[in-house]
Amino acid sequence: MIKHKKLTRSRDNRVIAGVLGGISNYFNWDATLVRILFVVVSALTAVPGIIVYIVAWILIPDEPQKMHYYSDGSRKDVTPDDYNDRP
Protein backbone atom coordinates (compact mmCIF):
# COMPACT_ATOMS: atom_id res chain seq x y z
CA MET A 1 0.00 0.00 0.00
CA ILE A 2 1.36 3.41 -0.98
CA LYS A 3 1.18 6.09 1.67
CA HIS A 4 0.39 9.48 0.15
CA LYS A 5 1.96 12.54 1.71
CA LYS A 6 -0.33 15.38 2.63
CA LEU A 7 0.70 19.01 2.81
CA THR A 8 -0.02 20.26 6.32
CA ARG A 9 1.19 23.10 8.52
CA SER A 10 3.91 21.90 10.86
CA ARG A 11 3.31 21.83 14.61
CA ASP A 12 6.91 21.32 15.66
CA ASN A 13 8.69 23.47 13.07
CA ARG A 14 6.78 26.73 13.12
CA VAL A 15 7.74 30.34 13.55
CA ILE A 16 4.36 31.98 12.90
CA ALA A 17 1.82 29.46 11.61
CA GLY A 18 3.91 26.53 10.38
CA VAL A 19 3.29 27.10 6.68
CA LEU A 20 6.93 27.13 5.60
CA GLY A 21 7.79 24.37 8.09
CA GLY A 22 5.03 22.23 6.58
CA ILE A 23 6.29 22.89 3.06
CA SER A 24 9.82 21.91 4.11
CA ASN A 25 8.51 18.70 5.72
CA TYR A 26 6.49 17.84 2.60
CA PHE A 27 9.47 18.17 0.25
CA ASN A 28 12.08 16.97 2.81
CA TRP A 29 13.97 20.27 2.56
CA ASP A 30 15.69 22.30 5.24
CA ALA A 31 13.21 24.72 6.85
CA THR A 32 15.76 27.53 7.01
CA LEU A 33 16.38 27.23 3.28
CA VAL A 34 12.63 27.38 2.55
CA ARG A 35 12.28 30.49 4.73
CA ILE A 36 15.21 32.22 3.00
CA LEU A 37 13.83 31.33 -0.44
CA PHE A 38 10.42 32.67 0.57
CA VAL A 39 11.89 36.01 1.64
CA VAL A 40 14.00 36.32 -1.52
CA VAL A 41 11.14 35.41 -3.87
CA SER A 42 8.79 37.74 -1.99
CA ALA A 43 11.25 40.60 -2.33
CA LEU A 44 11.76 40.03 -6.07
CA THR A 45 8.12 39.61 -7.13
CA ALA A 46 5.21 42.01 -7.39
CA VAL A 47 2.94 39.92 -5.12
CA PRO A 48 3.58 40.67 -1.44
CA GLY A 49 4.73 37.54 0.38
CA ILE A 50 2.58 38.29 3.41
CA ILE A 51 -0.57 37.88 1.30
CA VAL A 52 0.63 34.54 -0.06
CA TYR A 53 1.54 33.41 3.46
CA ILE A 54 -1.87 34.36 4.89
CA VAL A 55 -3.70 32.59 2.06
CA ALA A 56 -1.58 29.48 2.62
CA TRP A 57 -2.27 29.75 6.37
CA ILE A 58 -5.99 29.65 5.63
CA LEU A 59 -5.90 26.90 2.98
CA ILE A 60 -3.34 24.44 4.39
CA PRO A 61 -4.72 22.37 7.28
CA ASP A 62 -2.85 22.00 10.56
CA GLU A 63 -0.90 18.81 11.18
CA PRO A 64 -2.83 16.30 13.32
CA GLN A 65 -1.82 16.15 16.96
CA LYS A 66 0.44 13.28 17.93
CA MET A 67 -0.96 11.05 20.65
CA HIS A 68 0.80 8.58 22.88
CA TYR A 69 -1.25 5.60 24.04
CA TYR A 70 -0.42 3.96 27.34
CA SER A 71 -0.92 0.26 28.06
CA ASP A 72 -4.09 1.00 30.09
CA GLY A 73 -5.69 2.62 27.05
CA SER A 74 -5.38 6.20 28.25
CA ARG A 75 -3.75 8.69 25.95
CA LYS A 76 -1.62 11.79 26.28
CA ASP A 77 -1.11 14.52 23.73
CA VAL A 78 2.62 14.75 22.98
CA THR A 79 2.46 17.69 20.62
CA PRO A 80 5.40 20.06 21.13
CA ASP A 81 2.99 22.91 21.94
CA ASP A 82 2.42 21.28 25.35
CA TYR A 83 6.11 21.49 26.20
CA ASN A 84 5.78 25.25 26.69
CA ASP A 85 3.86 24.60 29.93
CA ARG A 86 6.99 23.35 31.68
CA PRO A 87 8.50 25.55 34.40
pLDDT score recorded for residue 13 = 82
pLDDT band at 59 (very low <50, low <70, confident <90, very high): very high
Q: Residue 63 has what pLDDT?
A: 82
- Which pLDDT value is given to residue 36? 93
Sequence length of the chain is 87
Look at residue 79 and tell me whether its pLDDT is greater than 80. Answer: no
What CA–CA distance (Å, rounded) separates 54 from 81? Answer: 21
Integer Cα distance of 84 and 87 in angstroms: 8
pLDDT at 25 over 70: yes
C-alpha–C-alpha distance, residues 87 and 75, integer Å: 22
pTM of the model: 0.66
